């Protein structure tokens, strides 16, 4: 027996030595690529010919996480774009097939910022810009595609996934969620209420009328998939894949520079916080791949607009994401379930739940009047919103839609991809467009029912993913013909078709059955991605305007120079405009245009102007701009940053607060924390300090200008008389 035991132990040792150390365990990597194109393109989303993008506030990126286990790979990607052209994904998959990728394991979601470019779509409709009352002569009403822009997007998407795949190491992953209830509202309440049989005219509904409560009118869930590398006993966070339902429309169409809207802040805040909390090595990429989900009728842009509000909303989203990220750290596994199923479905007049879908795409009147955040061309001329207008006679497929345009073959996708991805105990379903929260709820429930008994605990939707076919709504919402219903192209039941097909994909996945045969269609629409890269821009630059010698915090420092046209001078993936601070004999970078504080524009003649909105806590000292272009470098004159003197003391609830002037580009708090002031009281001076508000001493008569300050030395700009 001892001899048999020795033989068995020796055989076991041989088998263990022969097995790869990572067999059955997860590997993962993170990558990103710059998708900010040259300037001069129309903005995608507001479809206005007076929205030509002429600069940059936040850089646009594609961020990717690649997961692999037992030979099965998945790329989870989010891009700071209005939407995803299906041909981009097909082309990227083809270029990455030697790495084990195909259309069935790449999920690319758009953030849906309305300040990304258009002109890269395979189907002409989404390259179209409608006329406005201030129509420029070069309007793109024909839907012309820019071959260089399309090829650029394909290359950069491919590069983001390739970089993430190259970055793979042993890893662990885990899910968690949070709720964010106070930053979005349903912009089409009356359509949503119709799901409950409640009929209200335009602007007559309230969230409180929802029988399931006001919270049911939004999707408050923030989903976070955390991914950490494992090196020995150390975990190194490399990022998250996140979703939250919120339109990219906080910045209005008049803010005509590339920007990622609220996603721009949420991604950067989360990435910086993870890098710091996880003590991530400098060379390791960290990404927050934040796309979108069922945001079709979700908005933070109904009451407040502009980049400072976008920054504030993004920071609230980041707080929720980071809370979920920390919670996910308690449930990490190196052996998550990892599997996907994919197909392509056609809108071909087939039967689905409730009847037939249409086989022809039809645009309704509400599309031309625009949504609440950005009314469109007809509204410019009439001042009338055309939502909630219905045709008196119902079409068999299109219902009571007031039909405006029938879209022919080649101008719109007729077939769309669908993808179901299981990671651990959650299942992700792709939506090839914008889905309302009402329809999203139904799709998630159908997928969860199809996954019953499989260990899947929750379903998550990835919106604007892998293709774009406008909106998907419930039949009841469609009947009200708000902006979303009027923009559902293939009739009243198009959303139901997605629900049925995603539930079928889910059932096949959990049962271990193959995907259904995809509909035979070319998402590239015959468009090649072989155009050459953009020109690297000007060969040299020259100063036009130097910064003022002294600039106060909360104001903007500016520098102007001349280079090449269209922003072609800006390099990809690295800083173009930097602000440096002198520390003893060395210059150290404080911020750059990869962040949130710098805005630059360029005119047709190649004249650039960069502005830095100086934070309230920027260190005093000597600064300069550094421009690092593809082919030249310029350094500005030095300037001094000094404390602000623009704070405003006010009396609120019998106490003194110190208010900051509102930010324009970035969020800043309304009032100072840790403030102090000297009160004049009957010929004597009384000093008070507090965390947020100062008690007024007995007999105090006033606070002199400059006599109140915050923790950073910023002071009040005027005298405050006290009652």
What CATH number corresponds to the domain at position 607? 2.60.40.2300
Residues contacting 416, CB < 8 A, separation 6+: 86, 344, 345, 347, 432, 433, 466, 467, 469
Is residue 522 a part of any domain in this protein?
no
396 shares a domain with 344: yes
Query: Do residues 394 and 434 both lie within one domain?
Result: yes
d(CA 622, CA 549): 10
> Do both 604 and 494 map to the same domain?
no
Same domain, 700 and 605: no
Q: CA-CA distance, 75 to 68, in Å (whole number)?
A: 9
Say if residue 146 is in the same domain as residue 64.
yes
Domain final residue, candidates 615, 642, 669: 642
pLDDT digits (tens, 9 = 90+) for 173-218: 999 999 999 999 999 999 999 999 999 999 999 999 999 999 999 9
Single pTM value for the model: 0.94
Determine the longest span between alpha carbons in the chain, in angstroms: 103
Neighbours of 700 (CB within 10 A): 21
Examine residue 302 and state whether it is found in any structural domain, yes or no.
yes
Residue 77 lies in a domain: yes
Reported confidence tier of residue 21, pLDDT bands at 50, 70, 90:
very low
* 7 pLDDT more than 90: no
Based on the fold, state whether residues 341 and 451 are members of the same structural domain.
yes
Residue 16 has what pLDDT? Answer: 35
Q: pLDDT (tens digit, 9 = 90+) per residue, 392-405?
A: 999 999 999 999 98
Residue 710's domain comprises 648-721
Residues 172 and 259 in one domain: yes
Cβ-based neighbours of 83, under 8 Å, separated by 6 or more? 44, 110, 112, 126, 433, 464, 468
Say how many domains are in the chain: 3
Q: What pLDDT score was predicted for residue 47?
A: 79
Within a domain: 54: yes
Same domain (yes/no): 599, 660? no
Q: Are residues 589 and 714 in the same domain?
A: no
Residue 51 belongs to a domain: yes
Q: What is the pLDDT of residue 547?
A: 98
Q: What are 487-541's pLDDT values in tens digits?
A: 999 999 999 999 999 999 999 999 999 999 999 999 999 999 999 999 999 999 9
- Burial annotation 126-151 (CB, 10 A radius, 16+ → b, else e): bbbbbebeebeeebbeebebbbbbbb
C-beta atoms surrounding 281 within 10 Å? 10
Q: How confident is the model at residue 122, as a pLDDT?
A: 96
Inside any domain, residue 416: yes
Residues 623 and 487 grouped into a single domain: no
Residue 132 pLDDT grade (very low, low, confident, very high; cuts 50, 70, 90):
low
Is residue 169 included in any domain, yes or no? yes
Together in a domain, 578 and 661: no
What does the pLDDT average to over 248-273?
97
Residue by residue, DSSP assigns 227-287 as EEEEETTEEEEEEEEEE----B-SS-TT--SB--HHHHHHHHHHHHHHHHHTT--TTS--E
Indicate if 482 and 557 belong to the same structural domain: no
Confidence at 13, pLDDT banded by 50, 70, 90: very low
Query: Where does a domain end: 492, 511, 530?
Result: 511
Lowest-pLDDT range, 5-19, 96-110, 303-317? 5-19
What confidence score (pLDDT) does residue 524 get?
97
What is the mean predicted confidence (pLDDT) over 221-230?
98
Residue 282 pLDDT exceeds 70? yes
589 class by beta-carbon count within 10 Å (0-12 exposed, 13-18 middle, 19+ buried): exposed
Q: Looking at residue 23, what is its pLDDT?
A: 56
pLDDT tens digits for range 306-336: 999 999 999 999 999 999 999 999 999 999 9
Of 456, 491, 511, the residue that ends a domain is 511
Share of the chain above pLDDT 70, in %: 96
For 599-655, what is each residue's pLDDT tens digit? 999 999 999 999 999 999 999 999 999 999 999 999 999 999 999 999 999 999 999
Residue 8 lies in a domain: no
What was the pLDDT predicted at 19? Answer: 38
pLDDT reading at 9 higher than 60: no
């Amino acid at each position: 027996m001892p001899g048999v035991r020795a033989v068995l132990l020796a055989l076991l040792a041989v088998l263990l030595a022969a097995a790869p150390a990572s067999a059955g365990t997860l590997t993962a990597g993170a990558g990103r690529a710059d998708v900010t194109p040259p300037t001069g393109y129309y903005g995608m989303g507001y479809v206005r010919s007076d929205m030509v993008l002429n600069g940059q506030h936040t850089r646009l990126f594609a961020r990717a996480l690649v997961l692999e286990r037992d030979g099965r790979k998945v790329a989870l990607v989010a891009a700071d774009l209005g939407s995803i052209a299906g041909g981009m994904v097909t082309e990227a998959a083809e270029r990455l097939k030697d790495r084990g990728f195909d259309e069935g394991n790449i999920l690319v979601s758009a953030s849906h910022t309305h300040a990304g470019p258009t002109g890269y779509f395979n189907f002409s409709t989404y390259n179209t810009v409608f006329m406005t009352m201030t129509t420029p002569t070069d309007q793109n009403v024909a839907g012309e595609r820019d071959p260089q822009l399309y090829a650029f997007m394909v290359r950069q998407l491919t590069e983001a996934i390739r970089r993430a795949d190259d970055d793979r190491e042993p890893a662990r992953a885990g899910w968690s969620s949070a709720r964010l209830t106070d930053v979005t509202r349903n912009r089409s309440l009356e359509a949503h209420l119709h799901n409950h049989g409640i009929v209200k005219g335009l602007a007559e509904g309230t969230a409180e009328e929802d029988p399931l409560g006001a919270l049911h009118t939004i999707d408050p869930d923030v989903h976070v998939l955390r991914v950490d590398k494992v090196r020995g006993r150390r975990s190194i966070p490399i990022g998250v894949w996140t979703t939250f339902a919120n339109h990219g429309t906080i910045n209005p169409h008049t803010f005509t520079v590339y920007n990622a809207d609220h996603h721009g802040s949420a991604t950067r805040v989360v990435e910086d916080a993870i890098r710091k909390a996880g003590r991530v090595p400098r060379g390791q990429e960290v990404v927050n791949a934040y796309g979108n989900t069922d945001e079709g009728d979700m908005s933070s842009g109904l009451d407040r607009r502009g980049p400072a509000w976008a920054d504030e909303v993004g920071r609230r989203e980041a707080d929720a994401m980071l809370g979920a990220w920390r919670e996910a750290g308690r449930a990490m596994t190196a052996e998550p379930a990892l599997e996907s199923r994919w197909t392509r479905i056609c809108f071909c007049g087939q039967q689905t739940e409730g009847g037939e879908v249409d086989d022809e795409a039809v645009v309704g009147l509400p599309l031309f009047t625009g949504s609440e955040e950005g009314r469109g061309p007809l509204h410019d001329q009439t001042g009338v919103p055309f939502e909630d207008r219905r045709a008196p006679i119902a079409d068999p497929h299109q219902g009571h839609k007031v039909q405006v345009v029938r879209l022919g073959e080649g101008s719109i996708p007729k077939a769309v991809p669908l993808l179901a991805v299981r990671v651990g105990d959650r299942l992700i379903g792709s939506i090839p467009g914008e889905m309302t929260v009402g329809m999203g709820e139904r799709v998630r429930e159908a997928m969860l029912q199809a996954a019953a008994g499989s260990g899947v605990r929750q379903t998550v939707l990835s919106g604007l993913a892998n293709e774009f076919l406008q909106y998907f709504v419930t039949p009841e919402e469609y009947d009200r013909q708000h902006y979303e219903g009027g923009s559902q192209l293939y009739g009243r039941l198009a959303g139901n078709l997605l629900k049925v097909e995603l539930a079928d994909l889910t059932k096949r996945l959990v049962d271990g059955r193959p995907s259904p045969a995809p509909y035979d269609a070319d998402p590239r629409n015959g468009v090649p991605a072989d155009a050459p890269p953009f020109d690297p821009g000007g060969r040299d630059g020259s100063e036009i305007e130097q910064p003022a010698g002294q600039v106060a915090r909360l104001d903007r420092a500016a520098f102007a120079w001349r280079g090449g046209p269209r922003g072609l001078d800006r390099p990809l993936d690295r800083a173009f405009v930097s602000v440096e601070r002198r520390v003893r004999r060395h210059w150290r970078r404080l911020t750059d245009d990869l962040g949130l504080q710098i805005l630059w524009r360029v005119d047709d003649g190649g004249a650039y102007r960069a502005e830095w909105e100086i934070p309230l806590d920027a260190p005093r000292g000597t600064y300069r701009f550094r421009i690092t272009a593809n082919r030249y470098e310029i350094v500005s004159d030095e300037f001094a940053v000094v404390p602000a003197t623009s704070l405003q003391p006010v009396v609120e609830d019998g106490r003194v607060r110190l208010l900051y002037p509102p930010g324009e580009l970035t969020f800043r708090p309304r009032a100072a924390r840790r403030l102090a002031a000297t009160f004049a009281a009957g010929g004597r001076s009384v000093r008070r300090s507090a965390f947020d508000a100062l008690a007024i001493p007995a007999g105090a008569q006033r606070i002199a200008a400059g006599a109140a300050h915050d923790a950073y030395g910023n002071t009040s700009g005027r005298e405050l008389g006290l009652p």
